[in-house]
Amino acid sequence: MQLLRTAAALAAAASFALAQDRITLANGDVLTGAIKTMADGKVTFSSPSLGDVTVPLANITDMATQGQVELLTLTGETYKRRIAGIEDRRLKLEGDLPALAIDNLGKINPPPTLPPQWIGTAKLGAIYADGNTERRAVNASFEASRRSEIDRLTFDASWDYGQDKNQATGEWNLTQRRTGGGLKYDYFLSKRWYGLANARVLGDTLADLRLRFTGGLGVGYTVIENADTTLVTEAGLSYFNENYRSDNPSQDYMAARVAYRLTHNFSATTKLIHGVEAFPSLENADDIYLQVKTEVVTSLTDNMIASLAHIMDYDNTPSPGVGGNRLERADHRVLLTVGWSF
């Protein structure tokens, strides 16, 4: 009876060992357990005796799985098969599929692809002063973007309004009224290059702008993209149109569009965002418009943020204004806001 129990235990142990995945290393060592995943040329293997270990795929001479695993190739095909071994640097697969070249193997058991998520911020700022100076102002902005493996969609909008009270007359005088927004679509051509289409509108009462519209096409290049710093540059062609609130004739022309945007994390909670977007006319060298924005954003809580931004709008040929009083070329704004990220 004891002999039968011993034989049954040995048979169960042998069956358990055979039911495990197996990899053979270049030095002859054999590991049994379970292949969890493979990415970036490294296999993560769970061994009952060693725990999770990571082995370079180049150091594996043979591999077999007892169950089906998901295989993702570098060319985009997906298979679910049992791996029967390696022969001539090719994976032998169960079923009628041909062997898969290891050089074309991208991942084993890749994580599920999550649907693209919208991320962004909504910010609000306000000023109220009473006494020798009476002032009231409010500003709001919204930015959101959604990125997938093949494209990226970005949307933004802003609103600024302000008044100062004339102490002599008691009337409130307008000091700021701006409303604008933009939409941009990027299509990734490679890891660094992308094509883009963008449009932007702006109305600014004090700048005599009923509507400024820009829209065009271009290309972008990602110079730096890592955990702390992102730098992208863009260039293209754009249609530029300014329609004034006064009786001055509108302007429209074809312009080049050149831009860059830098994002750098100073720490886990604070980052710098700096960007320039310029529209030099292709028809008249004097016509050029650009915006420079520099912003420091810090997290107050998991979702609450504070922001300090300086924005300069420069128009080399602004509206002649009412009565021929040409407006200033440069507008500067400093905004202190709080908001929420999502």
Average pLDDT over residues 231-244: 97
What is the span of the domain harbouring residue 59? 2-108
Q: Residue type for 287, please?
A: D
Q: What is the largest CA-CA distance in the chain?
A: 114
Where is the domain boundary, 108, 138, 160? 108
pLDDT tens, 267-310?
999 999 999 999 999 999 999 999 999 999 999 999 999 999 99
Task: Name the 3-class secondary structure at 58.
Answer: helix
Where is the domain boundary, 67, 89, 108? 108
Do 216 and 148 reside in the same domain of the chain? Answer: yes
Residue with the larger pLDDT of the pair 164 and 324:
164
Residue with the larger pLDDT of the pair 141 and 12:
141
Do 100 and 143 reside in the same domain of the chain? Answer: no
Residue 113 included in any domain? no
Structure tokens that stand for 131 in this block: 């006494």
pLDDT tens, 189-204?
999 999 999 999 999 9
Task: Name the 3-class secondary structure at 111.
Answer: coil
Do 122 and 98 reside in the same domain of the chain? Answer: no
Do 48 and 129 reside in the same domain of the chain? Answer: no
Other C-beta atoms lying within 10 Å of the C-beta of residue 83: 24
Cβ contact 207:217 at 8 Å: no
Residue 251 included in any domain? yes
Do 102 and 156 reside in the same domain of the chain? Answer: no
Which pLDDT score is estimated for 322?
67
Do 193 and 275 reside in the same domain of the chain? Answer: yes
pLDDT tens, 93-127?
988 888 999 889 999 998 887 789 999 999 999 99
**Confidence class for position 7, pLDDT limits 50, 70, 90:** very low
Structure tokens that stand for 273 in this block: 């965002």
Whether this model's pTM surpasses 0.85: no
Residue 6 included in any domain? yes
For 226-329, where are the E strands, in sequence order?
229-244, 251-265, 270-280, 288-299, 304-315
Do 143 and 279 reside in the same domain of the chain? Answer: yes
Torsion sign over Cα 88, 90, 92, 96: negative
